[in-house]
Structure 1
Amino acid sequence: MDIHRCRFINYEASGINTVAFSHPHLPTNQKHSRTAPVRMAIGRENGDIEIWNPMQGTWLQEMTIKGGQGRSVESLAWVVGDDEELDDAGTNKGKPILIHGQLRLFSIGFTNTITEWDLEKGCVKRNASGQHGDLWCLATQPKPAPGTPTAEAATTQRLVGGTIDGCLALYSTDDDDLRFQRLCRLPKKNIKVVSIAFQTRQLAVAGCSDGTIRVFDIRNGAILHAMTIGRDLAGEKTIGQGAKNVIVWSVRCLPNGDIVSGDSTGQICIWDGKTYTQAQRIQSHTQDVLSLTISADGSDIISGGMDRRVVLYREIPGQALRWAKVWHRRYNQHDVKALAAFEAKGMSVVVAGGPDAAPVILPLEKSGMEHHRTLSHLPQTVPIASAPAARLMICWWQRQVQIWAFDAPIDQLLNDGETEADLERNRRQVGCIIIKGDNNIVAADISADGSFVVITTTVGIKAFQLRKLASGEVSVSKISVPASVASKGGADSVAISPNGKWVCLASGVDDRVNLIEVVYPEPTAAGADSKAKIAIRPKVSRVARLRRNIPRHELLSGLGRYDRRITHIAFSPDSKLLATADLAGYIDTWVLQGPDGMSGTAAEAEGEGEGEQLADVDSEDSDSSSDEDSDAEVEDTAAPANKWVRNPRAKQLPKLPSAPTTLTFSPDVPGAPAVAGEAVSSEGSLARDYVLFAITASHRLFAFHPLQARLVPWMRRLSPTSLPVEYRNIRDVAKGVLWQGPRVWIYGASFLFMVDTSVEPTSSASPSGAAASGEDQSSKSAVATQQDLTLRKRKRSDDTGAGNRMELGRIAPQRVQMAVENAEGGGREWVDVDMEDVQDDAKSRADDDDDDETDSEAEAEYPAYAEQQQQLDDGKSSKALKKAARKQRKRSGDASNGQQLQAPQPQQPRWWHTFKYRPILGVVPLSTASSSSTSSSAAYPQLEVALVERPGWEIDLPVRYDE
């Protein structure tokens, strides 16, 4: 595989302003606590809101709600409804059924408006504002304690926001609504309320810009207590002049009622919650304390500041209201602006974020015993796409789409002796599209031939035609979108079929998927169609998703139908089969019937007469949807004869065990020689079905025959026990998949992994390798699922959701130096000793008799190993050669003793991986065949890709305090 390593994409990461968990604390002894729908929301400077699922330490980014121009998310708040238990003996074996409270997400952004977000549709649900200044902070009223009188317990949670003009704004969330109630005013209007927390259900603690902490009774708006921080004595001592007013940037309340505050002096203060007096002041930061969070039991306090420090404090045993600083670390590259703690069964972490855009997961309960983990600042959905036939690539960010061209294949440039500068000039920007309006781009795609681009936002759909000019640039012209298509609003996902004739649009949790047909101009004489326009048919085909047997109480619980959001769309290589997948793991498939479809193929035979009935249903729906625009229907004189109908076996496709992160089709097409899963040396047989490949968030790999609704025969090679330990140890989830014949290239934010589906596993002792051909597929799936549960259970016991466990009892020197003679001017100089090489040499001498497969053996058979080997230093190369020579001498000695050894047969490597590219924004193909070079094997066609990296150090950040 030839790789264009690129870092030229205009994609800028946005800083983190706030982090909030829907359930910061889930008691381990509480009934059904592990089934609660926990989500983490991250608000960014550009107005984006990311929804993450912790998944016992997997940390999957499920959705991103795009912002807009001039928008920012400064604070987030979750409102959780009350749980209910239903006594229904007929549905849950006599046990009570728990309905989790509804989750509602609210945000503010330096305006006087509170916004509620619809997580099912990924858009704004409602706005509410009052006659007050801009909101700077937001907090949710806690739920009533157990045993509270019924009248008080019936009251729902309210939202309280601090304003720039010194007020507390109260908003009601009763009856699934959002309404402004009243204001609690301060005596002075030039005071800003910058932080807020609740001491009890009715007492709100507000940190102000005048160095005062005030306690409000939100029932009547009265100020009960006021605590003053005092002057900036530390600033006067170190800088020579202290700040005129101390700003209380953050306040938190402990479970026992005590108050913790962090201010602009770099100190945290502990306040007695009964007498409202200062009990302790700790100087732990050299600059402002911007964020605070506490553990569930109140035994730990964590602070983050402008000096990049994260500080942990713990209560001194036996001494009331006395705390001690345990340690401080610098995990972030800039200010620690947001902190949030999450504790549940098996997990205890703190999430830290700031302008450096990358969330950092820190261990809380096992602090000092586990490593931290930095999540990728790049989105899970890849914001790049390519047109392999035209060697074009598009990338989008905010309201801009850039078009890049790759002039020549990389292998041709290398053969011509081009330099690195020539490789940089080989890729150039040839066009740009800027979307009008305030809404950012949600998704985009380009046709395989590079003729047109489709862009979607939250409010609309836009299409543009591309034409290559003689100068090499690309001209962009707008394609008119019919009213019937525009009336459907925006979309969350878009995909263009490989032949460029169909565009699939999916939005939120809609029960139907929209398909629009693209009409190309008729070919005429040479040059006559240079200005011909591509058109979109007004008639929209709306195909229905399957109705899943989901209990009604689950649809009313927690996030509702949020899990039914479509996240992936995939077309088959011949554009005759369409597949979608949602967060719940359900897969829906449709086939194309008509002149360009699958009429007379195996799809109708598999359906046993169901195809005609389903075709009538979809046809009626399509006609009814087109009736909304009768004028457009009259203009469409040539109605399309092709119809999309549901796959007759779609209902039999199994549900994936977790949310899919990738969904793609292999190059296999019915009636053509099979590609995936066939041995390299064997004669290719005719493929009976497509191969649909999916990867889940738990790193499980699945391959289906969608028309037959069964797993592929070579699926046993992708079981968790058959995959290498390097893949099982990867923590980042997969972002995309590329096919090179039977080879599957999987990539994530920090890894690139290849699995050859045509090579059998070397070990035959595993149960999966000895499975009979007629074994029931359901039993295979059950065994694989049980193995996956065992692996994931073992992984959960190793850590608490952050990094790996630290090795106990090991003293490993990080830096060792030795004095050597200076070859230039005499004397001695100190040089570093690479301890890794010393350990590798010792291990190689101890493992002379090891007959396991090594990288040096695979390099001779796989070209990528040779490319990587050129980048290694001479020392490692010589060690590999020495090790191979020792093995050869051992084989020769055994043969001389009379043992008849057969010559080893060359075998293609089954997998390969590298971690040299990071962080990866995306990988897209540029061409599937190169005219300037030939592949070493006919089964492995040449693959050329563009791999785009976006390192964190390239993010433009403001000057840090310590700089």
Structure 2
Amino acid sequence: MQAVPNHSYRFLSTAATSDGSVLAVARDNGSIEVWETATWTCFQRLPGREEASLSCMAWAQDPVDGSERLFTGGLDGALTEWDLRTRQPRHVGDSFGGAVWALAAEPRGQLKEGEAPRVAVACDDGVVRIFTAEGLSPGLTYARSMPALGSRLLSVAWHPSGKSVLVGTAAGTLHSWDLASSRELLRINVGDGGGKEQCVWAALVLPDGTMVSGDAAGGVQFWDARLGTRLASFHRHAADVLALAAAPEGNAVFAAGVDSQLAAFKLVTGQKGKPERWVFTESKRPHSHDVRTLTVAAVLGGDPILVSAGNDAQILVHSVPCFSQEHPVRVCKCPQPPLLAHASGAALPHLLSAQGTQVDLWCLGVAHNRQQHAVSLSGWAWAEGAPVDVGQEPRHLARIAAKGPGHVAVAAMSPDGRAVAFCEAGPGSLRLFRLTSAPGSEAVALSRQSLPDKLPAAVALAFCADGSRLLMATPDARVVVIDLDKNEVTQTFAEAAQQEESATWSPGEAGASGRSAAARLASVVTQLLVSPDDSWAAMVTPRLTHLYDLTAMKYHGRLPVFEEGGAVTAAAFGPAGDVIALATAGNHVAVLEAATLRHTPWSLANTARPPQRLLQMPGSVCGISFCPDPQIKSAVLHTTSSLCHVDFEAPAAAGAAKGRRRSRLPQPDPARSAGANFRVLPLENPCLLCTYTSTNAALLVEKAWTEITKTFPPPLYRHRYGT
């Protein structure tokens, strides 16, 4: 069953905020992911567009309210500022010079209070243009241009003083421009004098003014800031060097490119009075394909980190001080996930899969003689780990295409499988379809249903159990209830929007609050869900969870905030609708009563000191699914690489006793036996969805990396010994 389209999107560019708490990553389909670096949680995804051409990105700080603003440049010549709440462009402007190959924001240490930061743009017409990010004004404002160079500009970097910029060209030259006088300070030919032009794909200026270039010949070269003479030259790469990054102190430089190699260079002190010099220290190949981007993030309260990404759809995090001693951490453990929705109330469970501009509907398969293979007191009829006979294969029901070039941003399916709703980013794009089938026929007919006019943009959707009402969450944290039978909006809840606004950073507290960029940007809606009995609805943001009483049609309250564990990454109502379970990026799990907004006795006993096996699950919990039987108080939690069964009425299983001497034979662990509480099962392939379909059956959606790698462009060929 190909429930997930065969798409794998490569990473093109990365950019970190000044405090290193947020990392933005752009894929080649135009989508942007926003990650919190403290727990490495992707708390926002901005959908892309068909024929997208993002090439670079940069963060700039608003001089009035101090908020972080994200700008991107594209090969179509567009300069775009993004609204992370609405997930759509806030402003789209023109570069006035064709394709944009690189962006660089002015160093913040040189900005005066209230001064608008400048952004340097490397354009296709050979001109570096300076734009400003004016306070509370959307988009970039053109300020001035440097003289044309007659060759395409591929890279740009600011001098730490903010008085000059360095650009690299397709003609193999570096140019340093004084911004006040528009005078060229230095012109450097990075080639060897042989007459062959070498594209300068990457340029960098260190805190002491030393300039660094990475070119198409695989060279990494260091240049004197005052005279422009070559200080050091290295050719450790077998192909183009596409990215450079430096440690905050400027004593280490990292380079990567087409040959998938990460090379480290260090400034060492000379002996016996000799001057400092740059030396090559080490190289690694943690990536399997081209490395397109490098970023160093100076994380508050911790060591700076190096983030690398590229064509292998992997995000790897390295410690800058311990680059030689430690292995990198893989952050992106699964392919770009599609939007998945499951309908368990239908006679045969249905699955919705939305990716790109397509929405696919599937009827799931069933196990052979499922009714005869129910769970008994003695255990399962099938042996654990054994393949299950399939009595009916999954079948594709329908495919719906989006209206415009924008990718589907949010989608939902009614629990009975008879209604589907989806929309792109932005207002007025919500579409609703009804599914009907003739008796005895496998064919499915789709009929579009009208919706009320002037609906706001939706960032999350959820159907009630009977499919008669559709709930939508707006970018400003409002919840709109639509009666589908009457085709009208019956209620709009605005209480959570007011609380989210008051909980976020205030402009008047810029100097005192010291809140990180992640805290300021985290007021985005990540999930909207309805209880199985239609009594409650919950809207989840990374920091807060709001509850609504759908019987009385009023705002019920806010669930207690997690003191530890990071952002909320998953939520689910119990089968009776009386409790709601929450999980955080640190794998802390709590169960709360919906009526009282208080922790259950089990939660009080286990939230303060969570079981170690739960905390040590690989990855962060991204899904919770309760057993549909109200008499069974258990759920399955899943990360992208493991599953965990939790019984909310039983204590955690004790670990294996430790002996004084290590035995050569493996010792049985009670927590790994079948049925043990908090038992963790590792998965071979990335898990995109795990949910119960009935009391004795569950659906697991995986996407193997072996299938993903087939879509990658081939890496640089390297001859290996013996081949």
Task: Calculate the TM-score normalised by the size of structure 2.
Answer: 0.87
Deviation (angstroms), 1:377: 5.5
C-alpha deviation, 1:727, in angstroms:
2.3
* 2:540 maps to amino acid: A
Specify the SS of the correspondent of 2:135. helix
Q: Distance in 1 between matches of 2:645 and 2:333?
A: 24
Q: Is residue 543 of structure 1 aligned with residue 493 of structure 2?
A: yes
Q: Deviations over 1:180-238 (max 9, x none)?
A: 223223242xx1100000123121000000010001122333222100012487xxxxx
Residue 142 of structure 1 pairs with residue 117 of structure 2? no
1:920 to 684, 687, 699: 687
In structure 1, C-alpha distance between the alignment counterparts of 2:277 and 2:391, rounded to whole Å: 60
- One-letter code of the match for 1:462? R
Among 491, 497, 500, the residue aligned to 2:464: 497
Query: Are residues 481 and 407 of structure 1, via their aligned partners in 2, closer, same or farther at CA, if it must alter by over 3 Å?
Result: same
Q: Say which SS state the counterpart of residue 48 (structure 2) adopts.
A: coil
* Equivalent in 571, 586, 592 of residue 698 of structure 1: 586
Going from structure 1 to structure 2, the CA distance change for 1:300 and 1:425 (only over 3 Å counts) comes to: farther
Higher helix share: 1
Moved more, 405-414 or 394-403: 405-414
Residue 74 of structure 1 deviates from its aligned partner by: 1.0
**Structure 2, unaligned runs of 5 or more:** 374-380, 511-515, 719-723
1:666 and 2:571 aligned: no
CA distance in 1, matches of 2:19, 2:56: 16
Which of residues 259, 265, 271 is equivalent to 1:307? 259
1:67 aligned residue:
48
Q: Which has the higher contact order (CA 8 A, sep 6+)?
A: 1
Is 2:150 aligned against 1:259?
no
Pairwise mapping of residues 140-219 of structure 1 onto structure 2 (< 5 A)?
140-143=105-108, 145=110, 155-177=115-137, 178-188=140-150, 191-199=151-159, 200-219=161-180
SS at match of 1:442: strand
Q: State which of 187, 202, 213 in structure 2 corresponds to 1:226.
A: 187
Provide the C-alpha distance between the structure 1 equivalents of 2:706 and 2:228, rounded to a whole number of angstroms: 44
Q: Which structure carries more strand by proportion? A: 2
* 1:305–1:448 CA distance, 2 compared to 1 (3 A): same
2:86 corresponds in structure 1 to 121
Cα displacement (A) at 1:404 = 1.4
Q: 1:185 to 1:410 in 2, by over 3 A?
A: farther
Give the drift of 1:368.
Answer: 3.0
Query: Which residue in the other structure is 2:377 paired with?
Result: none
Superposition pairs of residues 878-917 of structure 1, within 5 angstroms? 909-917=676-684
Q: How far, CA to CA, are the matches of 1:722 and 1:279 in structure 2?
A: 55
Please state if 1:42 is matched with 2:21. no
1:564 aligns with 2:530: no
Q: Secondary structure at the match of 2:9?
A: coil
Q: Is 1:472 the equivalent of 2:227?
A: no
Match status 1:273 vs 2:225:
yes
Of the three residues 56, 75, 80, the one matched with 2:61 is 80
Do the aligned partners of 2:43 and 2:522 also contact (CA within 8 Å) in 1? no
Counterpart Cα distance in 1 of 2:370 and 2:312: 39
1:125 partner amino acid? R
Structure 1, residues 539-591: CA drift from partner, whole Å, max 9, x if none? 3421122443976882325768633322121211101111112122x222121
Partner of 1:548: helix, strand, or coil? helix
Q: Which residue of 2 aligns with 1:335?
A: 290
1:753 to 644, 663, 685: 644
Give the drift of 1:103: 1.0
- 1:628-660 residue CA offsets vs partner (Å, 9 max, x unmatched): xxxxxxxxxxxxxxx62122xx15x32233321
Sequence identity percentage = 21
1:962 and 2:700 equivalent? Answer: no
DSSP-derived class of the 1:727 partner: helix
Q: Distance in 2 between matches of 1:71 and 1:846?
A: 56
Contact 2:653–2:671, Cα closer than 8 Å, also in 1: no
Which amino acid counterpart does residue 493 of structure 2 have in structure 1? Answer: V
Residues of 2 paired with 1:17 and 1:549: CA distance?
33
Task: Please give the alpha-carbon distance, in whole angstroms, between the structure 1 residues aligned to 2:526 and 2:81.
Answer: 22
Q: Give the 3 Å change call, closer, same or farther, for CA 400–492 of structure 1 in structure 2.
A: same
Q: Is the 8 A contact 1:357 1:377 kept in 2?
A: no
Q: Are the equivalent residues in 2 in contact too, given 1:738–1:746 (CA < 8 A)?
A: yes
Q: 2:202 aligns with which of 226, 250, 253?
A: 250
Separation in 1, partners of 2:25, 2:366: 41
In the TM superposition, 1:856-875 aligns within 5 A as 858-859=673-674, 862=675
Contact 1:336 1:353 in 2 (8 A): yes
Return closer, same or farther for 1:421/1:544 CA change in 2, 3 Å cut-off.
Answer: closer
2:302 counterpart of 1:346:
yes
Deviation for aligned residue 1:395: 0.4
For the residues of structure 2 that align with 1:592 and 1:260, how far apart are their CA atoms? Answer: 61
Structure 1 CA distance for aligned equivalents of residues 364 and 699 of structure 2 = 10
Q: 1:258 to 1:545 in 2, by over 3 A?
A: same
Change in CA separation of 1:278 and 1:549 when aligned onto 2, cut-off 3 Å:
closer
Q: Which amino acid aligns with 1:501?
A: S
Q: Specify the SS of the correspondent of 1:74.
A: strand
> What is the CA-CA distance between 1:153 and the residue it aligns to?
6.1
Equivalent residues of 2:219, 2:234 under 8 A apart: yes
1:205–1:846 Cα change, 3 Å:
same
Question: In the alignment, is residue 942 of structure 1 matched against residue 702 of structure 2?
Answer: no
- Displacement of 1:754 in angstroms is 0.8
CA contact (8 A) 1:7 1:948 kept: no
Rounded to whole Å, the distance in 1 between the matches of 2:230 and 2:372 is 70
TM-score (norm 1): 0.66
* Corresponding letter in the other structure for 2:686: P
Q: Is the 8 A contact 2:410 2:460 kept in 1?
A: yes
* CA distance in 2 between partners of 1:645 and 1:362 (Å): 48
Whether the aligned pair in 2 keeps the contact of 1:11 and 1:397 (CA below 8 Å) is no
Structure 1 residue 17 and structure 2 residue 7: aligned?
A: no
Q: Distance in 1 between matches of 2:114 and 2:649?
A: 62
Shift of 1:258: 0.2
State the secondary structure of the residue aligned to 2:317: strand
Offset at residue 760 of structure 1 (A): 3.1
Q: Output the CA distance in 2 between the equivalents of 1:662 and 1:218.
A: 49
Answer whether contact 1:231 1:246 (CA < 8 A) is retained. Answer: no
Task: Tell me which residue corresponds to 2:542.
Answer: 583
SS state of the match for residue 119, structure 2? strand
Shift of 1:913: 1.4
Aligned-residue offset at 1:381: 7.2
CA contact (8 A) 2:588 2:610 kept: no
Match of 2:635 in 1: 744
Please tell me whether residue 726 in structure 1 is matched to residue 613 in structure 2. Answer: yes
Q: Distance in 2 between matches of 1:7 and 1:950?
A: 11
Q: Residues of 1 paired with 2:501 and 2:421: CA distance?
A: 34
Cα gap change, 1:952 to 1:408, in 2 (>3 Å): closer
745 and 411 in structure 1: CA distance in 2 versus 1, 3 angstrom threshold: farther
Matches within 5 A, 1:279-298: 279-298=231-250
Preserved contact between residue 509 and residue 561 of structure 1 (Cα < 8 Å): no
Letter in 2 for 1:951: W
8 Å CA contact retained: 1:384, 1:924: no
Q: Give the conservation status (yes or no) of the 8 Å contact 1:250–1:292.
A: yes
Contact 1:61 1:380 in 2 (8 A): no
Question: What is the alpha-carbon distance in structure 2 between the residues aligned to residue 407 and residue 574 of structure 1?
Answer: 26
| Paired position in structure 2 for 1:833 | none
1:391 equivalent to 2:349? Answer yes
Closer/same/farther in 2, CA of residues 305 and 759 from structure 1, 3 Å limit = same
- Aligned residue in 2 for 1:376: 332
What amino acid is aligned across from residue 176 of structure 1 in structure 2?
L
User: Could you report, residue by residue, the CA deviation over 1:278-333 in whole angstroms, capped at 9, with x for unpaired residues?
Assistant: 11101110111010000000111110110000111111222545211111111112
Deviates further, 352-361 or 404-413: 404-413
Partner of 1:409: 367
| Equivalence map 1:477-626=2 (5 Å) | 477-483=447-453, 487-510=454-477, 512-519=478-485, 537-546=487-496, 547-548=498-499, 554-556=505-507, 557=510, 562-584=521-543, 586-593=544-551
Q: Name the SS of the counterpart of 2:260 in structure 1.
A: coil
Instruction: Please name the residue that 1:444 is paired with.
Output: 411
Q: Is the 8 A contact 1:348 1:365 kept in 2?
A: yes
State the 1:467 CA deviation: 1.9
